[in-house]
Structure 1
Amino acid sequence: MIIHIVAGGPKEYIPDLSIYKEDKNIKWIAVDRGALYLQEFSITPDEAIGDFDSMTEEELEQLRNSGLKLDQFQEEKDETDMELALHLAFEYHPEAIQIFGATGGRIDHFMANISLLYQALQSNRNIPITIIDKQNMAYMTKPGTYTIEKMVDKKYISFIPITKDVENLTLKGFKYPLENRHIFFGSTLCISNELILNHGTYSFSKGILLVIRSSDK
């Protein structure tokens, strides 16, 4: 099973989710206003979670009347709505989690969502989690060797150190290759690279990388 989490970020950043609606292997979790977005794609979420502070009382009542399983929290809480949704997703032990509606709009919300990728990686759950919007997809990786395939619609690939140091970063099959390079938090060395082959590899021995695949539009 793959879990799709749809949050309430600006709708214009969310790709066409209707392409997934016939996939029976997907479980949908809506976060706050994401429940309304899913309805617009003619998708009924399996569950909705959050404080729903971005909805009017009329919209919230509409959700309640639809029979949707609604897990509502107080606005004053220690976790963000997305954090609650991820904890819920982990309970299903999915193969992977994909998150939509988590970019654009407020930068603090976006940075919090990126931080959740780090938290999940550190928890050793070994569940791939990817944040996806119309132009970007982002995920984090621990040390190791990884194969990465060319994507026509997202040709730019950036490697951003999340920890103080990332050691022995090696990029093969890229326009700008690297060999056992040490990069540090704040480095822009590995921004906007491209694959020159149908697939390449990246590897490193220490640290955590945020991998972002992007298009111009």
Structure 2
Amino acid sequence: MKGVVISSGKIASKSFYDEYIKDADFIICCDGGANVAYKYGFVPNLIIGDFDSVDKEVLEFFKINGIQIMEFPCEKDKTDTQIAIEYLAEKGFDEVVMLSCTGKRLDHVLANISLLYYLLERNIKGAIVDENNIIMMTRNKIKIHGKKGQLLSLLPYTQTVRGICTKGLYYSLEDGVMEFGNPYGVSNVIIEDEAIVEVKDGVLLVILSSD
């Protein structure tokens, strides 16, 4: 099952959201993410948060229309996005796509990237997607379906990542090693319809980007 989480970050175009929610089994809006749903006219299954960023009239609209709402205190030990991710994991979803999870707040962006690790630890396919990037994480093998000429960056998420092998990239690696603090894997280039990245030990951040 595929779950989609829409947070309070950068708002994209309607067509962007349509692409990712069209085959979703469950949609969660985190706080201000409900403003996106209201703006573009799609209906979430659940709205969660402390509701410090959602418009009051938007929240009232969804309440009147019977959408499930879970409210949490402002002073808590988890972000709204984390609560949503944990909810989907507990419900048995095997794929989670995170939208509006990037933007001006770098602290939230980094926190959201760390949630990819939470999903990885539970064997749940996860991705953070915006209009310019798809951010993923792997500890074994991942296939990337991009376009020739697109940029693909590989960054270590653990202190050391060993046994990195790549196919379909301009700068190839065979049994490569990456260490935290030496980001030489930035801005590789896809040269085939499908790129493959394999890892033997450690966790690798994989970022597909378009300018």
Q: Distance in 1 between matches of 2:55 and 2:173?
A: 52
Match of 1:79, as an amino acid?
K
Q: Distance in 2 between matches of 1:120 and 1:31?
A: 18
Q: 1:14–1:101: 8 Å Cα contact kept in structure 2?
A: no
Q: Distance in 2 between matches of 1:202 and 1:181?
A: 11
Q: 2:138–2:199: 8 Å Cα contact kept in structure 1?
A: no
Corresponding position of 1:197: 192
> What's the CA shift for 1:136?
0.4
Q: 2:4–2:21: 8 Å Cα contact kept in structure 1?
A: no
State yes or no: 1:75 paired with 2:71: no
Corresponding position of 1:102: 101
Q: Return the match for 1:208 from 203, 206, 209.
A: 203
Q: Deviations over 1:32-78 (max 9, x none)?
A: 01112012221110001111111344443333223221100000111
Corresponding position of 1:117: 116
Any unmatched runs of 5+ in structure 1? none
User: Residues 98 and 74 of structure 1: is their aligned pair in 2 closer, same or farther, counting only changes over 3 Å?
Assistant: same
> What's the CA shift for 1:13?
7.7
User: Residues 91 and 204 of structure 1: is their aligned pair in 2 closer, same or farther, counting only changes over 3 Å?
Assistant: closer
Q: Distance in 1 between matches of 2:62 and 2:142?
A: 42
User: Residues 130 and 81 of structure 1: is their aligned pair in 2 closer, same or farther, counting only changes over 3 Å?
Assistant: same
What SS does structure 2 have at the residue aligned with 1:105? coil
User: Residues 41 and 29 of structure 1: is their aligned pair in 2 closer, same or farther, counting only changes over 3 Å?
Assistant: same
State yes or no: 1:129 paired with 2:135: no
Q: Return the match for 2:138 from 141, 156, 167.
A: 141
Q: Distance in 2 between matches of 1:113 and 1:13?
A: 21
| 1:13-24 to 2 correspondences below 5 Å | 16-20=16-20, 22-23=22-23
> What's the CA shift for 1:150?
3.1
Q: Deviations over 1:138-188 (max 9, x none)?
A: 11111x233333336x81111110100011212222111112121101222
User: Residues 52 and 14 of structure 1: is their aligned pair in 2 closer, same or farther, counting only changes over 3 Å?
Assistant: farther
State yes or no: 1:53 paired with 2:48: no
Corresponding position of 1:150: 146
Match of 2:90, as an amino acid?
E
Q: Distance in 1 between matches of 2:2 and 2:12?
A: 24
Q: Distance in 1 between matches of 2:171 and 2:7?
A: 35
Cα RMSD, aligned residues only: 2.0
Q: Distance in 2 between matches of 1:190 and 1:52?
A: 39
Corresponding position of 1:172: 167
TM-score (normalizing by structure 2) = 0.91
Equivalent pairs, count: 211
Q: Distance in 2 between matches of 1:170 and 1:22?
A: 34
Q: 1:13–1:133: 8 Å Cα contact kept in structure 2?
A: no
More deviation, 198-207/102-111: 198-207
